[in-house]
Amino acid sequence: MKVLTSIISVVFLTLSCVAQTSYDFSSTVPPNSPEISAVPKSFFGVYSSDSADIDYEFSAKGVFAISTIYNQISRETVRESSKYHVENGYLFGIQKDDSIPCVLEGEYYVFGIKYREQIIGGTAQHKLVQLTPNSFIVNFKENGTFTPSLFDFKGKTLSVRHFTYEPEATVFDGITSKKTAASSQMNTISLSPTLEEWNKIPLASIMTSPTLFKR
Strand order in the sheet with 85-87: 45-47, 54-59, 62-74, 108-120, 99-105, 90-92, 85-87
Pairing of strands 135-142, 127-130: antiparallel
Return the DSSP state at 82.
Answer: S
**What is the distance of C-alpha 186 from the center of its chain?**
22
From the CB of residue 91, how many other CB atoms can be counted at a distance below 10 Å? 20
Residue 10 is predicted with a pLDDT of 41
Whether pLDDT at 26 is above 90: yes
Q: Whole-angstrom Cα distance, residue 15 to residue 121? A: 39
Give the number of residues written for the chain: 215
Name the pLDDT band for 95 (thresholds 50, 70, 90): confident
Q: Per residue in 131-145, is it b (16+ CB within 10 Å) or e — as a string?
A: eeebebbbbbbeeeb
Strand, coil or helix: 125 = coil
Q: What is the mean pLDDT of residues 72-80?
A: 94
Name the pLDDT band for 213 (thresholds 50, 70, 90): very high
Whether pLDDT at 109 is above 50: yes
Residue 131 is predicted with a pLDDT of 95
For residues 182 and 118, the model is more confident at 118
Query: Distance of CA 78 to CAs 6, 50, 74, 109, Å?
Result: 32, 31, 7, 9
Whether pLDDT at 16 is above 60: no
Q: What is the mean pLDDT of residues 75-99?
A: 92
pTM for the model: 0.79
